C-alpha cells in the first residue's frame, strides 16, 4: 500500500490588519480545503489560532496569516487560487508556496512547475530549488511584495525518511493507538501544555496538531515500510526550548535520512545520530527570511532483508 506522505505547503500573511482571517469562519476554510481535494476532520482553538486537522495534513489560521499543508495527491495550488480570488491579490502582504520532490511524482496531478504557472497568473514572485536535483530537494516560491519578515518569524521543519526499529514496527502494527503514539514520541515532554488534536488513520498513519498561544506544531506519519515518511513543523524557538526536539524524534524514529529546513532558525546538529551531511545550502530571500536546508544520512542504518527471486 502506497501513500505519498510529503507535503505541499502554503503560507499567506495579510497586508491589511483590518481583515481577520479567523472571522471568516470554518465554512469558508472548509471550501478552501475542498479545493485541494481534502476535508476538515476536527479542530481546536485558543485565543490566537484555529488549528484544523485535515484528511490530508493540517491548516492553521491566525488573524493575520494562515499555514496549510496537504499531502497525498492533493491540489494545494487550486486552494491557493481560490483564496486569492476570495480576498483579492491586493490583500496579500506575503505568500510562499513550498513543495518537496515526491516518491512517485508521476502519480501527482501536477508538478511544481504546473503549480507555479497557475499561481503566477494572479501573483508575481520568485521561485527557487534547494537541495540536489537527483536526490532530496524542495521547491519554493515567494511573492515580490514589499514585505519584511520580523527576525522572530521562525519556522522549523524536520522531514524523516525510512524510519526503522521498534517505533517503526509499532507504527505499522495492529495494536497502535493515538495515545500510544503520543507516548512513543514523548509529545507531552516535547510540547508541554499544548492543546492537541490527533487522528489515527486506517490501516495506519497518524496526524497531530498542537497549539499554545501563538505557537504551533504538527506531525504527520506515513509509516509504510518502503516509503515511510514523518514530518514535523513548528514555529517554536528551538534555541530557547528546554528539550532538544529534533534529537528526541531522531532517536525515537531512527530514520535512514532526514532533511532539516529552517526559516530564520540557526542550524544545530547537537544530539543527532552519527551521520553524513550529503547536502547543505542557504538562501536569503528579499523578504528577510534566511532559509537553511540540509540533508543528512545516518551511518550504518541499512538492514538487509532477504528477497525472493
Q: What is the CATH number of the domain that holds 131?
A: 3.60.90.10
> Is 106 designated active site?
no
Nearest-angstrom CA–CA distance, 145 and 181: 42
pLDDT score at 108: 74
pLDDT score at 227: 85
> Is 207 designated active site?
yes
pLDDT per residue over 109-164, tens digit each?
A: 789 899 999 999 999 999 999 888 777 888 999 999 989 998 899 999 999 999 99
Count of domains observed in the chain: 1
pLDDT score at 131: 81
pLDDT tops 60 at residue 304? no
User: Does 160 map to a domain?
Assistant: yes
pLDDT top residue among 138 and 60: 60
User: Does 2 map to a domain?
Assistant: no
pLDDT tops 90 at residue 32? yes
Contact predicate 69/57, CB 8 Å:
yes
Mean pLDDT rounded to a whole number for the chain? 92
Q: Which of the residues 71, 96, 102, 142 is marked catalytic?
A: 71
> Is 233 designated active site?
no
User: What percentage of the chain carries pLDDT values higher than 70?
Assistant: 95
In what side-by-side order are the strands of the sheet with 8-14? 40-45, 50-54, 57-61, 65-70, 8-14, 92-100, 137-143, 125-131
pLDDT score at 6: 85
pLDDT top residue among 136 and 262: 262
**What would the mean pLDDT of 52-73 be, rounded to a whole number?**
95
User: Does 306 map to a domain?
Assistant: no
Contact predicate 13/57, CB 8 Å:
no
User: Does 182 map to a domain?
Assistant: yes
pLDDT per residue over 72-87, tens digit each?
A: 889 999 999 999 999 9
* Banded model confidence at residue 308, pLDDT cuts 50, 70, 90: low
Q: Which of the residues 220, 227, 228, 265 is marked catalytic?
A: 220
> Is 142 designated active site?
no
Residue among 53, 52, 42, 48 nearest 63 (CA): 48
User: Does 276 map to a domain?
Assistant: yes
User: Does 142 map to a domain?
Assistant: yes
> Is 57 designated active site?
yes
User: Does 303 map to a domain?
Assistant: no
Q: Which of the residues 6, 55, 57, 228 is marked catalytic?
A: 57
Nearest-angstrom CA–CA distance, 282 and 158: 16
**What would the mean pLDDT of 23-50 be, rounded to a whole number?**
97
Q: Which of the residues 58, 110, 207, 257 is marked catalytic?
A: 207
Q: Residue 179, SS3?
A: helix
Nearest-angstrom CA–CA distance, 19 and 305: 56
Domain assignment of residue 186, given as a range? 8-298
User: Does 77 map to a domain?
Assistant: yes
Half-sphere exposure of 256 (CA within 13 A, CB side): 13
pLDDT score at 101: 79
* Banded model confidence at residue 302, pLDDT cuts 50, 70, 90: low
> Is 277 designated active site?
no
Amino acid at each position: 500500500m502506497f501513500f505519498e506522505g510529503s507535503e505541499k505547503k502554503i503560507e499567506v500573511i495579510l497586508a491589511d490588519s483590518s481583515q481577520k482571517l479567523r472571522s471568516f469562519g470554518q465554512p469558508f476554510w472548509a471550501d478552501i480545503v475542498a479545493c485541494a481535494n481534502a476535508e476538515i476532520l476536527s479542530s481546536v482553538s485558543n485565543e490566537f489560532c484555529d488549528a484544523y486537522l485535515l484528511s490530508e495534513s493540517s491548516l492553521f489560521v491566525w488573524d493575520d496569516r494562515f499555514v496549510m499543508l496537504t499531502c497525498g495527491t492533493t491540489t494545494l495550488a487550486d486552494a491557493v487560487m481560490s483564496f486569492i480570488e476570495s480576498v483579492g491579490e491586493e490583500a496579500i502582504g506575503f505568500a510562499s508556496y513550498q513543495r518537496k520532490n515526491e516518491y512517485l511524482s508521476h502519480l501527482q496531478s501536477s508538478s511544481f512547475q504546473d503549480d507555479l504557472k497557475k499561481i503566477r497568473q494572479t501573483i508575481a514572485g520568485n521561485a527557487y530549488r534547494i537541495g540536489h536535483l537527483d536526490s532530496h530537494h524542495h521547491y519554493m516560491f515567494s511573492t515580490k511584495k514589499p514585505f519584511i519578515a520580523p527576525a522572530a518569524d521562525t519556522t522549523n521543519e524536520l522531514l524523516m525518511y525510512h524510519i526503522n526499529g521498534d517505533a517503526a514496527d509499532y507504527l505499522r502494527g495492529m495494536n497502535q493507538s493515538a495515545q500510544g503514539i503520543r507516548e512513543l514520541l514523548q509529545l507531552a515532554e516535547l510540547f508541554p501544555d499544548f492543546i492537541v488534536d490527533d487522528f489515527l488513520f486506517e490501516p495506519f498513519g497518524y496526524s497531530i496538531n498542537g497549539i499554545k498561544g501563538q505557537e504551533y506544531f504538527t506531525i504527520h506519519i506515513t509509516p509504510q515500510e518502503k516509503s515511510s515518511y514523518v514530518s514535523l513543523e513548528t514555529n517554536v524557538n528551538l534555541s530557547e526550548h528546554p528539550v532538544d526536539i529534533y534529537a528526541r524524534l531522531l532517536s525515537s524514529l531512527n530514520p535512514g535520512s532526514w532533511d532539516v529546513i529552517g526559516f530564520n532558525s540557526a542550524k544545530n546538529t547537537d544530539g543527532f545520530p552519527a551521520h553524513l551531511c550529503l547536502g547543505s545550502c542557504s538562501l536569503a530571500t528579499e523578504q528577510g527570511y534566511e532559509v537553511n536546508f540540509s540533508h543528512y544520512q545516518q551511518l550504518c542504518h541499512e538492514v538487509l532483508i532477504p528477497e525472493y527471486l
